[in-house]
Amino acid sequence: MGFRRYENRPLAWHLATPVSVSEMRRRGWVVMARCQACQLDLRIDMDLMARLNGPDLVLFGRTCRCRRMGCAGRMFFMGTPPGQQVGLFWRLRKPDGSRPAL
Protein backbone atom coordinates (compact mmCIF):
# COMPACT_ATOMS: atom_id res chain seq x y z
CA MET A 1 0.00 0.00 0.00
CA GLY A 2 1.51 3.32 -1.04
CA PHE A 3 1.30 6.75 0.48
CA ARG A 4 -2.12 8.29 0.03
CA ARG A 5 -1.90 11.93 -0.98
CA TYR A 6 -3.32 14.30 1.64
CA GLU A 7 -5.69 15.97 -0.84
CA ASN A 8 -7.20 12.55 -1.58
CA ARG A 9 -7.95 11.72 2.04
CA PRO A 10 -11.48 12.21 3.37
CA LEU A 11 -12.54 15.28 5.30
CA ALA A 12 -13.32 13.22 8.41
CA TRP A 13 -9.77 11.88 8.46
CA HIS A 14 -8.24 15.37 8.38
CA LEU A 15 -10.57 16.68 11.09
CA ALA A 16 -9.78 13.72 13.35
CA THR A 17 -6.02 13.86 12.81
CA PRO A 18 -4.55 16.87 14.64
CA VAL A 19 -1.15 17.96 13.40
CA SER A 20 1.17 20.85 14.24
CA VAL A 21 0.99 24.24 12.52
CA SER A 22 4.16 23.46 10.56
CA GLU A 23 2.67 20.18 9.35
CA MET A 24 -0.64 21.88 8.47
CA ARG A 25 1.32 24.43 6.45
CA ARG A 26 3.22 21.66 4.69
CA ARG A 27 0.01 19.80 3.83
CA GLY A 28 -1.70 22.92 2.49
CA TRP A 29 -4.36 23.69 5.11
CA VAL A 30 -6.04 27.12 5.08
CA VAL A 31 -6.81 28.29 8.63
CA MET A 32 -8.96 31.00 10.19
CA ALA A 33 -10.09 31.98 13.68
CA ARG A 34 -13.63 33.02 14.71
CA CYS A 35 -14.68 34.90 17.83
CA GLN A 36 -17.54 33.28 19.73
CA ALA A 37 -18.65 36.65 21.13
CA CYS A 38 -18.45 39.13 18.22
CA GLN A 39 -18.13 36.72 15.21
CA LEU A 40 -14.93 38.41 14.01
CA ASP A 41 -13.24 36.17 11.42
CA LEU A 42 -9.48 36.34 10.93
CA ARG A 43 -7.29 34.57 8.40
CA ILE A 44 -4.40 32.87 10.20
CA ASP A 45 -0.91 33.33 8.74
CA MET A 46 0.63 29.91 9.32
CA ASP A 47 4.18 31.16 8.76
CA LEU A 48 3.70 33.81 11.42
CA MET A 49 1.94 31.34 13.74
CA ALA A 50 4.85 28.91 13.54
CA ARG A 51 7.39 31.70 14.03
CA LEU A 52 5.67 33.23 17.04
CA ASN A 53 4.46 30.08 18.80
CA GLY A 54 6.81 27.40 17.56
CA PRO A 55 6.32 24.85 14.77
CA ASP A 56 4.93 22.21 17.15
CA LEU A 57 1.86 24.20 18.21
CA VAL A 58 -1.40 22.28 17.68
CA LEU A 59 -4.51 24.41 17.03
CA PHE A 60 -7.07 21.60 17.27
CA GLY A 61 -9.20 22.14 20.37
CA ARG A 62 -7.52 25.43 21.29
CA THR A 63 -8.83 28.97 21.62
CA CYS A 64 -7.14 32.35 21.73
CA ARG A 65 -8.08 35.84 22.86
CA CYS A 66 -10.18 37.85 20.38
CA ARG A 67 -8.14 40.42 18.47
CA ARG A 68 -10.95 42.99 18.21
CA MET A 69 -10.45 46.06 20.41
CA GLY A 70 -12.64 45.88 23.50
CA CYS A 71 -13.89 42.32 22.90
CA ALA A 72 -13.33 39.85 25.72
CA GLY A 73 -14.38 36.84 23.64
CA ARG A 74 -12.37 33.77 22.73
CA MET A 75 -11.59 32.70 19.19
CA PHE A 76 -11.63 29.09 18.03
CA PHE A 77 -9.83 27.81 14.97
CA MET A 78 -11.34 26.56 11.73
CA GLY A 79 -9.62 25.08 8.72
CA THR A 80 -9.92 23.91 5.15
CA PRO A 81 -8.01 20.62 4.76
CA PRO A 82 -6.04 19.91 1.58
CA GLY A 83 -8.31 18.78 -1.25
CA GLN A 84 -11.45 20.41 0.21
CA GLN A 85 -13.52 23.25 -1.26
CA VAL A 86 -11.73 26.59 -0.88
CA GLY A 87 -13.74 28.96 1.29
CA LEU A 88 -15.38 26.25 3.42
CA PHE A 89 -14.04 25.96 6.95
CA TRP A 90 -14.56 23.27 9.57
CA ARG A 91 -13.99 23.71 13.26
CA LEU A 92 -10.74 22.20 14.54
CA ARG A 93 -11.83 20.20 17.53
CA LYS A 94 -9.89 17.97 19.82
CA PRO A 95 -10.74 14.42 18.68
CA ASP A 96 -12.83 12.32 21.03
CA GLY A 97 -10.61 9.31 20.57
CA SER A 98 -12.66 7.50 17.98
CA ARG A 99 -10.94 7.10 14.64
CA PRO A 100 -12.76 7.49 11.35
CA ALA A 101 -12.52 4.73 8.79
CA LEU A 102 -9.95 5.31 6.07
**Alpha helix segments (H runs only) across 1-102:** 11-15, 21-27, 46-53
Residue 71 binding Zn ion, by CB under 5 A:
yes
- Which of these ranges, 4-12, 26-34, 35-43, 79-87, lies near Zn ion under the rule CB under 5 A? 35-43
Residue 33 binding Zn ion, by CB under 5 A:
no
Beta-carbon contacts of 30 under 8 Å, excluding residues fewer than 6 positions away, are 43, 79, 80, 86, 89
Closest CB 69 distance from Zn ion, rounded Å: 9
Closest CB 72 distance from Zn ion, rounded Å: 8
